[in-house]
Amino acid sequence: MILVLSGINGLSQSPAVLTAVPEPAFEVASVHLADPRGGGSGLSLETSPGKLTIRHMPLLNCIMSAYEFQRPAQVIGPDWLHDILLDIVAKAATPVGDPELFRMLRRLLEERMGVRAQFEKRETPVFALTLAKGGPKFSESTTEGPPGRVIEKGVVIMQRVSMDEFAALSSQMMGRPVVDATGLKGRYDFRVNTASLEAETQQPGMDQMGAAMVAMRDQLGLKFEDRREAIDFLVIDHAEKSPTEN
């Protein structure tokens, strides 16, 4: 599986469960600071049975991948986590799958980057994603595979996305945690016309959040309700700015 971060792939429906049992470890692994000038195709995360390769990825994203928690609005940690870029190549002793690889990545980051993190429930203002009058204006997926996103002529097409995953994506746009309250349990395909969204932002008195709310209602049949709930946060208590020696 190849994952180039686009805000959709690799989303987790719920945080990984933390236990006192030591996490499994890679047989061999290298962790280096990436060249900040970039190069190649940009940041990426690639897995195959028993192997993990990360290129030019911020430490924050590495930690979220390790904890299978793709909700940046619900991560608490130092601001500089965005600035530390890592290249990681790691191999397991056996051809294990992605869940095991991410657990190994968690231990690798603990050992090489001094990462200490935990999940905490905290009460906070949220937007509840609900169905607008008239119901959803999107269809259930008819294809198999992981979530995906493409952009075609100003239209964002998202495929095989759960409502929890869509809520996580929406939290990035809304600047506040979004929780799924639609009651829809399948995987769905969405189409969002970004030109229409941009046009809404040009309306007098309309900010980006307001425009997003209008677009979600008119194009997808979804609305956001103000609420206050206790939700999961990933709290990063400690991390180092450079890895220990490989």
- Strand pairing class (148-152; 155-162): antiparallel
Q: Choose among 10, 239, 21, 242: nearest CA to 147.
A: 10
On the CB side of 147, how many CA atoms lie within 13 Å of its CA?
23
The pLDDT of residue 184 = 96
Q: Choose among 128, 230, 237: nearest CA to 179.
A: 128
Integer Cα distance of 1 and 179 in angstroms:
28
CB 101, CB 47: distance < 8 Å: yes
The pLDDT of residue 2 = 33
Integer Cα distance of 108 and 188 in angstroms:
35
Q: Residue 107 burial by CB count (10 A; 0-12/13-18/19+): exposed, middle or buried?
A: middle
The pLDDT of residue 85 = 95
The CA-atom distances, in angstroms, between 180 and each of 160, 172, 222, 228 are: 16, 14, 11, 13
Q: Which residue bears the tokens 């603990």?
A: 110
The pLDDT of residue 174 = 85
Q: Which residues face 130 on adjacent strands? A: 223
Integer Cα distance of 21 and 14 in angstroms:
20
The pLDDT of residue 207 = 77
- Taking 70 as the pLDDT cut, the residues of the chain under it are 1-22, 38-42, 200-201, 205
**What is the three-class DSSP state of 232?**
strand
The pLDDT of residue 22 = 65
Edge-to-edge strand order for the sheet containing 178-180?
75-76, 222-238, 116-131, 178-180
The pLDDT of residue 195 = 79
Integer Cα distance of 115 and 104 in angstroms:
13
Q: Residue 231 burial by CB count (10 A; 0-12/13-18/19+): exposed, middle or buried?
A: middle
The pLDDT of residue 163 = 95
* Ramachandran class of 134: left when φ > 0, alpha when ψ lies in -120 to 50, beta otherwise: left
